[in-house]
Structure 1
Amino acid sequence: MHKTTLLLLGGAIAAPAIAAPAGTVTITIPRLSVAEYHKPYLAVWLEPVGGGPPRTLAVWYDLKKRGNDPGTKWLADLRAWWRKGGRSMTMSADGVSGATRAPGQYTIPLPADVKPGQYVLNVEAARETGGRELVSVPLAAGARTTGKTELGTVAISAH
């Protein structure tokens, strides 16, 4: 049972702060019927609705790229994430970065230490010789959205 408290600020009623639900994000990477398929690079991050620093939850990239071309070189293809804070991260990031994933459904836990507030969850995918896609969904239990090409359903579940 949730208890809601309204705050009176300067004579106006302010909405209560909303905390992130304890739960998970489920991301579906669809199976695409293309001649040359590469697993997508993927970034998942939270952004406060009113602005503020983003928080990266996951980055999937080619950890074992061969030759003089480390997989980190292509992280900039995740353009929105890269501009929001990816370029300042050091890879590999403990507990955040991991290998690319094949088509399927994957679950990422939401952090328990998110400060109260309203957030948007962003998921961005980019594939070599493929497309790029960014989807956003409000951080709320039961929220979901579906991508059109590189991403399938992205859903938030509470525990």
Structure 2
Amino acid sequence: MRKRLLLPLALLSAPLMAADMQIDVEIPRLQVAEYHRPYVAIWLEKPDQSHVADLTVWYDLKLKDKEGEKWLKDLRQWWRRSGRSLEMPVDGVSAATRAVGTHQLIYKGSDAPLKALEDGDYNLVVEAVREVGGRELLRVPFTWPQASAASAQGATELGAVTLTIKP
């Protein structure tokens, strides 16, 4: 009789399958005289806006003498919450700027930073800034690891930002 009880108890104590996260970020085509690709930071925060994890930072990695890093502070919200404490480039986070179009990012729940993410409410935050351009910040609220799809629509520097969580 005892052996029959141990198996169900073992199954209850096993960790649940981690969810995966897909983020689609649209960089819109702007009709301007001087176009520069935007710097973009994407991170997770709690509802009180406290920083949880950086997902990616797109900036100009190829400028001589790391000149591109100098402009990261223009991503003001990200810079205040996380950027100023980082030594760039960060493996797995830093990436080159992106061209006009929709860019898909996929994060496995079994990998960092989602692996350590506690169940609960969060915001996906996407901030973009462009030289000789504007600044825009979008927040997409979600509950981890609940299956869901949510989106936000930018007005200038960002187009649609879509978040999909799949268990």
TM-score norm. by structure 1 comes to: 0.81
The 3-state SS of whatever aligns with 2:149 is: coil
Instruction: Measure, in 2, the Cα distance between the counterparts of 1:51 and 1:127.
Output: 23
Which ranges in structure 2 are unaligned for 5 or more consecutive residues?
1-17, 110-114
The 3-state SS of whatever aligns with 1:81 is: helix
Aligned to 1:137: 140
Aligned to 2:161: 154
Query: When the two structures are aligned, how many residues end up with a matched partner?
Result: 139
Deviation, structure 1 residue 21: 4.7
Do the aligned partners of 1:42 and 1:59 also contact (CA within 8 Å) in 2?
Answer: yes
Of residues 103-112 and 79-88 in structure 1, the stretch that sits farther from structure 2 once superposed is 103-112
Of residues 136-145 and 39-48 in structure 1, the stretch that sits farther from structure 2 once superposed is 136-145
- Matching of residue 115 in structure 1 with residue 118 in structure 2: yes
Deviation, structure 1 residue 126: 0.4
Q: Call closer, same or farther: CA 1:116–1:97 in 2, change over 3 Å.
A: same
Of residues 137-146 and 83-92 in structure 1, the stretch that sits farther from structure 2 once superposed is 137-146
Deviation, structure 1 residue 111: 5.1
Q: Call closer, same or farther: CA 1:133–1:51 in 2, change over 3 Å.
A: closer
The 3-state SS of whatever aligns with 2:35 is: coil
Q: Call closer, same or farther: CA 1:129–1:50 in 2, change over 3 Å.
A: closer
Which ranges in structure 1 are unaligned for 5 or more consecutive residues?
1-19
Aligned to 1:44: 42
Report which of the two has the higher share of helix. Answer: 2
Deviation, structure 1 residue 115: 1.6
**Which one has a bigger Cα radius of gyration?**
2
Deviation, structure 1 residue 107: 1.1
Q: Deviations over 1:63-104 (max 9, x none)?
A: 0113x5610000000000001111101111111110000111
Of residues 133-142 and 75-84 in structure 1, the stretch that sits farther from structure 2 once superposed is 133-142
Aligned to 1:16: none
The 3-state SS of whatever aligns with 1:38 is: coil
The residue identity in structure 2 corresponding to 1:70 is E
Do the aligned partners of 2:39 and 2:75 also contact (CA within 8 Å) in 1?
Answer: yes
Do the aligned partners of 1:54 and 1:84 also contact (CA within 8 Å) in 2?
Answer: no
Instruction: Measure, in 2, the Cα distance between the counterparts of 1:123 and 1:111.
Output: 19
Instruction: From 128, 141, 166, give the equivalent of 1:125.
Output: 128
Instruction: From 43, 54, 73, give the equivalent of 1:56.
Output: 54
The 3-state SS of whatever aligns with 1:150 is: coil
